[in-house]
């Protein structure tokens, strides 16, 4: 009997787990490969869609302030209630009743903290529209970006490349362009149709800065949560623990507009926020809290354009598009060098199966950019 081993039994060469990285596109010692990749296109478009969602909330809040509606907590209550009733059943289905109860016992305080921080951010952001101009609100909300940078460096030990700081600065410079547009026009976009000054601009500006600070804290903490736990658990628990305030419905009595208009604006606000809260965790996993925040800076241009279209305020035909272009250029510069992203080990066993598609999106090219990836040890 022949003792030759069949060639069919010869061990095949090991198959690469990922595809090889794309061909490098270098210019003046800068690598533009990632900018022309599918991964960047996905996170860029997703970031711009979320910026449009933010724009919808800006316009809704500005119009509600015109109608003398001042119910910041109630507006967010509808959002959190919807998130809870959508994602809590999914979590229970995935874990079972006993698994869900076990999750609550071990992590309830983490989601309570996340919910409280997010509620306060929404409260002060919405409240600010009642006292200052919508333009001031959009500008001051950008304070969340440096807050995210600081917290990411402190808690995630992130190491940003100098070009990434430069990209963030360019994005923020776009906000200065908005101020130039405002000076060119001569009248800011106020919360009144008459063009009168805001009722208490310093108070509204303070609310905007406080809200942006809470948003920055919430974004970084949510990035940590969605890298540790399933998305449906994080979003659902945020909604559950954020439902705690219902006292401002009485303020509807002082509204000057029709009830149908007010209800429609509140619904529009909440639909945009539901999309925002559902897709934000996805972007946080694929990129980072900082990329998320600088992507949202484009909402200033979208808001200016939409305010102009619905006759809530003027817009410079030159400086508005320039601001948007600066944000796009800043995003590109930010992503020329390896994307900073904390490597936080998930603590649930179905992570590999659930995130197979996400791993494809991140790709081998992203995996090889390890010189700027750090391990989170919280």
pLDDT per position as a tens digit, 121-138: 988 888 887 787 766 777
Share of the chain above pLDDT 70, in %: 70
**Would you report the helix, strand and coil content of the chain in percent, each value rounded to 5?**
70, 5, 25
pLDDT reading at 343 higher than 90: no
Q: What average pLDDT score do residues 132-152 get? A: 82
User: Where do the DSSP E strands lie in the chain?
Assistant: 26-27, 30-31, 341-343, 373-375
Buried b (16+ CB within 10 A) or exposed e, 122-143: bbbbbbbbbbbbbbbbbbbbbb
18: in domain: no
pLDDT band for position 254 (cuts 50, 70, 90): low
165: in domain: yes
How many independent structural domains does the chain possess?
A: 1
First to last CA, the chain: 63
167: in domain: yes
Tell me the whole-structure pTM to 2 decimals: 0.78
- Mention every residue, 6+ apart, whose C-beta is less than 8 A from residue 362: 39, 286
Nearest to 229 by CA among 275, 157, 284, 292: 284
pLDDT for residue 347: 80
9: in domain: no
Around Cβ 235, how many Cβ atoms within 10 Å? Answer: 26
pLDDT band for position 20 (cuts 50, 70, 90): very low
- In this predicted model, which residue has the larger pLDDT, 282 or 190? 282
40: in domain: no
Beta strands at 373-375 and 341-343: parallel, antiparallel or unpaired: parallel
347: in domain: no
Residue 272 CA to residue 49 CA, distance in Å, equals: 10
> Among 12-21, 209-218, 252-261, which range has the highest average pLDDT?
209-218
> Among 271-280, 337-346, 364-373, which range has the highest average pLDDT?
271-280
Report the SS3 class of residue 373. Answer: strand
Q: What average pLDDT score do residues 69-94 get? A: 88
pLDDT reading at 154 higher than 60: yes
376: in domain: no
pLDDT for residue 91: 96
pLDDT for residue 173: 85
Average model confidence (pLDDT) across the chain: 77
Residue 169 CA to residue 173 CA, distance in Å, equals: 6
Nearest to 315 by CA among 52, 135, 56: 135
11: in domain: no
**Positive/negative CA dihedral, 106, 107, 108, 109:** positive
Report the SS3 class of residue 277. Answer: helix
pLDDT in tens, 197-252: 566 777 888 888 899 999 999 999 999 999 999 999 999 999 999 886 555 544 55
DSSP string, 235-249: HHHHHHHH----GGG
Residue 95, Cβ density class (10 Å: 0-12 exposed, 13-18 middle, ≥19 buried): middle
- Please give the residue range of the domain that contains residue 249: 68-342
- Mention every residue, 6+ apart, whose C-beta is less than 8 A from residue 324: 174, 298, 301, 302
């Amino acid at each position: 009997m022949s003792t030759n081993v069949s060639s069919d039994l010869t061990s095949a060469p090991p198959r690469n787990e990922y595809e090889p990285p794309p061909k490098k596109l270098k210019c003046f010692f800068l690598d533009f490969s990632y900018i022309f990749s599918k991964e960047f296109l996905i996170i860029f478009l997703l970031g711009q869609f979320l910026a449009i969602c933010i724009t919808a909330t800006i316009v809704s809040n500005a119009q509600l302030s015109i109608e003398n509606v001042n119910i910041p907590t109630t507006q967010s209550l509808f959002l959190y209630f919807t998130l809870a009733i959508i994602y809590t059943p999914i979590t229970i289905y995935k874990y079972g009743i006993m698994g869900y109860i076990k999750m609550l016992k071990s992590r309830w305080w983490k989601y309570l903290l996340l919910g409280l921080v997010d509620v306060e951010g929404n409260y002060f952001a919405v409240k600010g529209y009642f006292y200052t101009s919508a333009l001031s609100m959009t500008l001051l909300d950008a304070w969340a970006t440096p807050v995210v940078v600081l917290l990411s460096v402190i808690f995630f030990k992130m190491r940003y490349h100098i070009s990434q700081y430069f990209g963030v600065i360019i994005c923020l410079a776009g906000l200065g362009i908005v101020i130039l547009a405002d000076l060119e026009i001569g009248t800011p976009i106020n919360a009144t149709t008459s063009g009168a000054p805001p009722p208490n601009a310093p108070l509204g500006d303070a609310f905007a800065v406080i809200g942006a600070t809470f948003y920055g804290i919430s974004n970084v903490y949510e990035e940590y949560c969605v890298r540790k736990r399933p998305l449906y658990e994080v979003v659902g628990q945020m909604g559950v623990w954020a439902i705690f305030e219902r006292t401002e419905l009485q303020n509807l009595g002082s509204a000057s507009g029709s009830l149908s208009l007010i209800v429609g604006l509140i619904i529009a606000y909440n639909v945009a926020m539901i999309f925002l809260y559902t897709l934000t965790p996805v972007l946080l996993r694929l990129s980072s809290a900082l990329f998320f925040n600088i992507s949202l800076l484009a909402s200033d241009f979208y808001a200016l354009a939409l305010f102009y279209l619905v006759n809530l305020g003027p817009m410079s035909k030159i400086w508005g598009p320039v601001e948007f272009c600066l944000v796009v250029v800043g995003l590109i510069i930010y992503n020329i060098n390896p994307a900073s992203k904390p490597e936080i080990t998930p603590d649930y066993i179905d992570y590999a199966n659930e995130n197979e598609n996400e791993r494809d999106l991140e790709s081998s090219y992203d995996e090889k950019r390890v010189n700027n990836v750090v391990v989170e040890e919280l």
